[in-house]
Amino acid sequence: MVSLTAKDIMTRNVITIRKGASIEEALKMMACNDISGLPVVDTENNLVGIITESDVLLKGQYIPGETFSSPSNPLFKTRTEGVNEAYRRAQASLVEDAMTRKVLIFSEDSFVVDIARAMIEHAVNRVPIVRDRKVVGIVSRKDVVKALARAANGVSNLCGSDEDADTRMGKLIEL
C-alpha cells in the first residue's frame, strides 16, 4: 500500500462541470452519476474549483435570518459558521458561486498514503489529480478503501468483477 500512487487507484474518466453551469445542472450530474462532488473547470479544462454535496445540501431550504445554531450536544461540536456558509452557498444559482476555490490537489505520482493523510487532515472526501492544471483523475476515500481491501486480501480483483470498469468510470461532459 505504501508504494501505491494516485495513478494506481484513481478514476481516470472524471465527470467535471463547467464554470458557468447552474446549480441545478450540478445537482442532476451528481444524482444521476451517483457521485458526491464535481471538479469545476474553465473553457480550457483547467481546474478552477470543486463543488460537492455539502455546497448544495441546503439548496431550497429555508433558514431564518438569524444565525443558525443547533441544540447543545456534548458528543458533537457545533459548527455554526459552517452551517451558515453552507446555507449561503446553497442560495447560489451558478456553480462558481457555490464551489470551493481552495482545492487540495495531487499529481499522478503522489503516494496514496499522503493522499489519505491529507484527506483526513483537511476533511475532504475526494481530491482531483492534475497535470498542468488539467484534471486527469480523481481519488475518493472509496478508492483508498478499495486499495486497502485489495492489499489486505492479497488480490487485485477483490469482488470478482473488473472494478476499473465499474460505474465509477465517468465521462467528461462539456456544458
> How many other C-beta atoms can be found within 10 angstroms of the C-beta atom of residue 50?
26
pLDDT of residue 19: 96
Whether 86 contacts 74, CB under 8 Å: no
CB 40 within 8 A of CB 96: yes
Domain 6-165 has CATH 3.10.580.10: yes
Within 10 A of 76 (CB to CB), how many other CB atoms are there?
8
Q: What is the pLDDT of residue 58?
A: 72
Q: What pLDDT was estimated at residue 171?
A: 36
Please state, in angstroms and rounded to a whole number, the distance separating the CA atoms of residues 90 and 37: 14
Domain ranges of the chain: 6-165
pLDDT at position 85 = 72
Instruction: Provide the b/e sequence for 119-149 (b: ≥16 CB within 10 Å).
Output: beeeebebbbbbeeeebbbbbbbebbebbee
Over the chain (175 residues), what is each successive 10-residue block's mean pLDDT? 86 96 94 95 96 81 55 58 71 90 94 94 94 96 90 70 43 36
pTM here? Answer: 0.76
Query: Going by C-beta distance under 8 Å and a sequence separation of 6 or more, which residues neighbour residue 14?
Result: 39, 128, 135, 136, 137, 138, 170, 172
Residue 49: count of CB within 10 angstroms of its CB: 21
Measure the CA–CA gap between 41 and 49, rounded to whole angstroms.
7
pLDDT of residue 11: 94
